[in-house]
A and B are shown apart, each in its own frame.
Chain A
Amino acid sequence: MWMQQLINGVSLGATYSLVALGYTLVFGTLGIINMAHGEIFMFGAFFGLLLAETGVLSAAAMLAVAAGGAAVMGLLLEYIALRPLRRWRGGHLTPLISTIGVGIFLRSLALHLFGPESQVFPAALRGGNYRLGGAVVTEVDLVILTTGLLLMLGLWLLLSRTKLGKAMRATAENEATAALLGVNTEAIIAVTVVLAAALGGVAGALVGLSFAVSPTMGLPYGLKGLSIIVLGGMGNVVGAMAGGLILGFAEVITVQLFSSSWRDAAAFALLFLLLVVKPEGLFGRAHQAGGKA
């Protein structure tokens, strides 16, 4: 049974991690929390579903469409809700409020476009199950876990090994200095927001594939994603991945050892305890790469 709960924890945690990656990327570079991330995540799921409903039953194509659609939304978010505020030097709170607004708008839009009902992906795309020493693993779980690991690896390589990553880190460290040194910071910020949105879209499509798609699906995941980046260290990619898995395990273990009605309470109590011991988060540094603090 512990084998099954282990698998449950990994697959739940992996979905959390995927959501958290997008948050952490934007926070790391811009020092703001994108409250519309959960809704972009939801739209990603709907983009994937729309493609699947046209009869294209390929997980790769579905993820590509979800990422592409969400990336376009990220670009719009940057140009409509973030960039104008930066020009007015609104501080940290204004983009928080404006992204909350975008989130509410997107949720209402989804309700109008797709209706309030939950929808599921065609069974053919969801694949089957594998048995692993008495425990059950679904094909979707494996896809989520591999995608999560690959995206984390890619992101880490991008940030630490490429020139673009260097520019992103420089912008995060100090936007003005980076601009003085010849980094096109506005373009770097746009790329970051678009990349984060694309990650959110992929996460949404995977969660939708695993469970169901509905206009409100972004809310709980958004909340969990936020807690995870606090847990993992704001702006830290490895921290987001590890934080997601820890939260997933904490929830599953609470259900197994205590009671399911304590599921969220115990998971968040653990988060609280970790932060008391290590206020900067698991992988955070005292002076965070978020830079703006």
Chain B
Amino acid sequence: MSYDKCVRCGSCLQFCPMFDATGEEQFSPRGKAYLLQVMDQIEDDEELAKEFRRLLFECSLCGRCEETCSSGVDLLRVWHEQRAKAIETHPEEFAYLEPLKDALANVKNIYGLAAEDRAIYWLDELEDEIPGLADRVYEKGKTTENIIFLGCLMSFRGSQIPVLRSLFQTLEKLEIDYLVMGAEENCCGHPLYLMGNEKGAQELREHNKKVITAAEAKRVISCCPGCLIQLREHHNLEGVEALHHTQFFDRLFEKTKKYDQKEKFSYHDPCELHRILEIKTEPRSLIRKMGIEFKEMDLSCCGGGGLLRMTDPNLSDKIIQLRVAREGVKDTTVITACPSCREQLLGQDLKTKDIVELLSETLDGGAD
């Protein structure tokens, strides 16, 4: 349903991380929907219209507003459409996004690094520890049951290496038939999708689809919920199941060894994983199978989604800082299952572990 069905009841205010961090109504979903409802009165004021377009990008697209909305307004769709319209009609106001768009157009990753380097950094780091890892990188002609889609963050950022190490060690230990897409992987298109640039995103997806099809994979597995949204919902993969790594591993185990728990854990459930992909049970199931005791954190955003880290890094920081202060997680290790959430947590000097890190440790040394 469109924004005109918003009855402006205000129930979304209490859940919106933007409103929580700023305290002002223009950042809230109701405020933005209201602006659309009265746009005919204000659109002639160029400064107001410009401010509104900026506001559209001060949102982490966590989807909590849509989940809360009893009026059934498809708020996420509204924000996507309005973002697309804003960039299309006033590209000059979003010049800061051009380098990202250029990088995606030219080298197919968000960092502007050479496309062939996708499987260089982590391979350098890990191939001594995991013999044969280089052979796991996809090349034309290789086929596999399971193809691993790492995504840009996990392919290029050093902070993600521990997760990758655990992922590969676990796959090896379980003798899974897998390949990593490596240099043949394009960005999944999620950043462009978040800008409302469907055409650009589609070009990236088409290449990925060809590779996945050529590899004859039955499953494509990703640790990144953003990538998984694209793979599952937008790549039109035929006969290929797109899975989050927690889903894949949870299916493999009826039960596991017990994790040797010596620390307190809390669990931050990534918004895109539980709210948009509706993958809620498998991550928790896997944690519980390892016998890990943990505290559930609020089902709220870390501030790392919706391109917010690019469009308003201060707001993004404020959101995670507020949560850290409120939820008392400093003395815990925060479990999560998303590379973007991991970056946000590490940015606050929190200890964090992906679920696959726990699984890898459990398989290595856990108690039966």
Say whether A associates with B: no
- Chain B contacts to A: CB under 8 angstroms: none
- Chain A contacts to B: CB under 8 angstroms: none
